[in-house]
A = this chain, B = another copy of it.
Amino acid sequence: MTVYNPPLADMHAALNDVAGLPAIATLPGCESADEETVAAILEEAAKFATGVLAPLNPIGDKTPAKLENGAVRTSPGFKEAYRGFVDGGWNALPFDPERGGQGLPAAVSLAVSEMWNAAGLGFALCPLLTSGAVDAIEAHGTEAQKSLYLPKMISGEWTGTMNLTEPQAGSDVGALRTRAVPDGDAWRITGQKIYITFGDHDYTDNIIHLVLARTPGAPAGTRGISMFIVPKFLVNEDGSLGARNDVRTVSLEHKLGIHGSPTAVLSYGDEGGAIGYMLGREHRGMENMFTMMNGARLNVGLQGIAVSDRAYQQALAFARTRVQGKPIGVKDDAPHPIIEHPDVRRMLLQIKSTTEAARGLAYYAAGQTDFARHLNDDVARAEAQLRLDLMIPLVKAWSTDIAVENCSLAVQIHGGMGFIEETGVAQHYRDVRILPIYEGTNGIQALDLLGRKLGRDKGKAARDFIAEMQTLDRVLASLPGDDLATIRTGLGHGLKTLSEATETILGQFAVDPVVAVAGAVPYLTLFAATVGAWTLATQAIAASRRLAEREGDPRFDTAKLITARFFVEQILPKAISGASAITAGRTVAGLDPDLL
């Protein structure tokens, strides 16, 4: 039940054929990411994921972390696994070598993270949060803050958290009320924060909380928010631990899923104010947030891909062994596994094709991160950053939307057994449901895509990308075979619809933004599915070339062609049909809420 086989071949295909790893490996600072090294890292990570994390995943589900006498005890085995994770150097993978990191390209680090998230979504959340905190301190901290906190957070000796949400301030971060008042060089923090992932645990000696709060006289809304470093234990100048800070774990949430990840309510300042240190400039807390945002949202999208893939593997294994019924057209009386039923194959192909399309999309975005960081040319770097910014809401929202649907399909393939908790697949259906919500709901991603990513350059970045994708048409036209011809037609239809929808929604946004916004989610889905189709087409072209040249594994490459074809035949058309929702935004926009 706990089996997980990391899809290494598919990861390599996405890295090489979509993310551009061969080019990334030539960039300054990325030289170590040669094919052999990357393969070795992925293989080692796969061992840890399958050997240590995957078996813990159902244990975390059945035995959630507990709050006992004010301290959080994590699920059985989690603490030891975390120690192994840190000892193996896995926490340091993507970070600056000057602070103890290993400086791996973002694309490769993403592939490794996919394995952590697939093997144990609950477990993987702790390093994910630490990573975000590291990024924020690295970008905005003083040198003293960096040298005090970063080495231990990068190694994993300490973990990090992000404290945004309060009961009245969820998506609307600007509504937060936690206060910070000056106290010498430091600040005193008072307030209650909720939904704090790994807000407390027994992994490490210390936890570095990043807390959003308001300073005295700060403007209302997001413009008055500052960010503070609030360690669970104060840290002396020599790095040793001092007194316990005034932060208390009030409770842990009883959640639908990700039970292995303690979600804490934290109270700051019950005894006079927790000591915090301002990170970056006053009132610029939201800028710090945005620093972490791309990484965090990319990683949440990745979680969707990871859990999708794990659910797929479980459904596939079940479909290959469960004998039930005689498939249509079969004459003999031999036992037949349900994978021989066409509709079971259809469901499996839906999970497989959407997962691979989303993987292509996410790995492509991660590759743009590397180009945006390491290209020599300023203009090219800026272009990669624009492309990345455009991709982030697509990755976050679409990968998590398909993940929910895919985990539901994986349950369906199991029939009655899927509904029995012991089977294990229901855990994925429960776990995955948080993904379209946290780190900015998918509705907010669509607003980000429309309002910020399209809005800021009036659609130029989107148009440029669409035009670039359209150039694949010539390549597809030049290659033989029915599969590529079908892919070409389907992708062409998707790109044409996307191009028209982009102009439509931009036009609406200028004239009547409420109408435009009502179509933002269907627009995001159309955009993401089309880019997904493009990444599958890119991989199908590579596969077709390998097949022609008798290189590689012909089964893998044949499957790539079929998967891409299935996607444009059965998945992309649904996204294309959303164009009607974009043009019909007025029905929603004009609706009197009292009529609901």
Partner-binding segment picked from A19-27, A105-113, A426-434: A426-434
User: Are the C-beta atoms of A344 and B443 separated by less than 8 Å?
Assistant: yes
- Near B by CB (< 8 A), chain A positions 317-355 give 320, 323-329, 333, 339-349, 352
**Known contacts A329-B514, A573-B580, A195 near B256 by CB under 8 Å:** no
Q: Is A520 an interface residue (CB 8 A)?
A: yes
Whether B559 pairs with A416 at a CB distance below 8 angstroms is no
| Chain B CB within 8 A of A170 CB | yes
Cβ–Cβ contact A513 & B596, under 8 A:
no
- List 6 additional contacts besides A412-B443, A559-B596; criterion CB under 8 Å: A256-B421, A256-B430, A339-B596, A342-B514, A346-B581, A574-B574
Query: Is the Cβ of A570 less than 8 Å from the Cβ of B562?
Result: no
Known contacts A429-B256, A570-B580; decide if A345 and B591 are in contact (CB<8 Å).
yes
A418 interface contact, C-beta 8 A: yes
Write 16 A-B pairs (CB below 8 A) sorted by A numbering: A171-B325, A255-B419, A256-B418, A339-B593, A339-B596, A340-B593, A342-B514, A342-B517, A343-B521, A345-B596, A346-B521, A412-B437, A559-B596, A562-B591, A570-B580, A574-B578
Docked CA distance A506–B594 (Å) = 45
Do A596 and B437 touch (CB < 8 A)?
no
Chain B residues with CB under 8 A of A574: 574, 577-578
Distance to closest chain B CB from A11 (angstroms): 18
In-complex Cβ contact of A580 among B171, B349, B555, B569 (8 A): B569
This chain: copies in complex: 2
Say whether A433 contacts B416, CB under 8 Å.
no
The A interface, classified by DSSP as helix, strand, loop or mixed, is: helix
Q: A416 to B328, Cβ gap below 8 A?
A: no
The one of B577, B595, B596 in contact with A573, judged by C-beta atoms closer than 8 angstroms, is B577
Evaluate whether A170 and B595 lie within 8 angstroms (CB atoms) in the complex, with A429-B256, A518-B345, A588-B349 already known: no
Query: Which residues of A in the span 573-588 have a Cβ within 8 Å of any Cβ on B?
Result: 573-574, 576-578, 580-581, 584-585, 587-588
- Cα separation A420 to B589 with both chains bound (whole Å): 30
Is the CB of A253 closer than 8 A to any CB of chain B? yes
Distance in angstroms from A170 CB to nearest chain B CB is 5
Instruction: Give the complex CA separation of A558 and B587 in angstroms.
Output: 12
The reply on A461 being an interface residue by CB < 8 A is no
Is the CB of A465 closer than 8 A to any CB of chain B?
A: no
Contact between B408 and A437, CB atoms less than 8 A apart = no
**A352 to B577, alpha carbons, bound, how many Å?**
20
Establish whether residues B595 and A581, one from each chain, have CB atoms under 8 Å apart when the complex forms: no
A566 at the binding interface (Cβ < 8 Å): yes
Say yes or no for A163: interface residue by CB 8 A criterion. no
B342 adjacent to A254 (CB under 8 Å): no
Q: Which of A403-446 contact B (CB under 8 A)?
A: 404, 408, 411-412, 415-416, 418-422, 426, 429-430, 433-434, 436-438, 441-443, 446
Of B170, B253, B426, B580, the residue contacting A415 (CB under 8 A) is B170
Contacts of A584 in B (CB 8 A): 566, 569-570
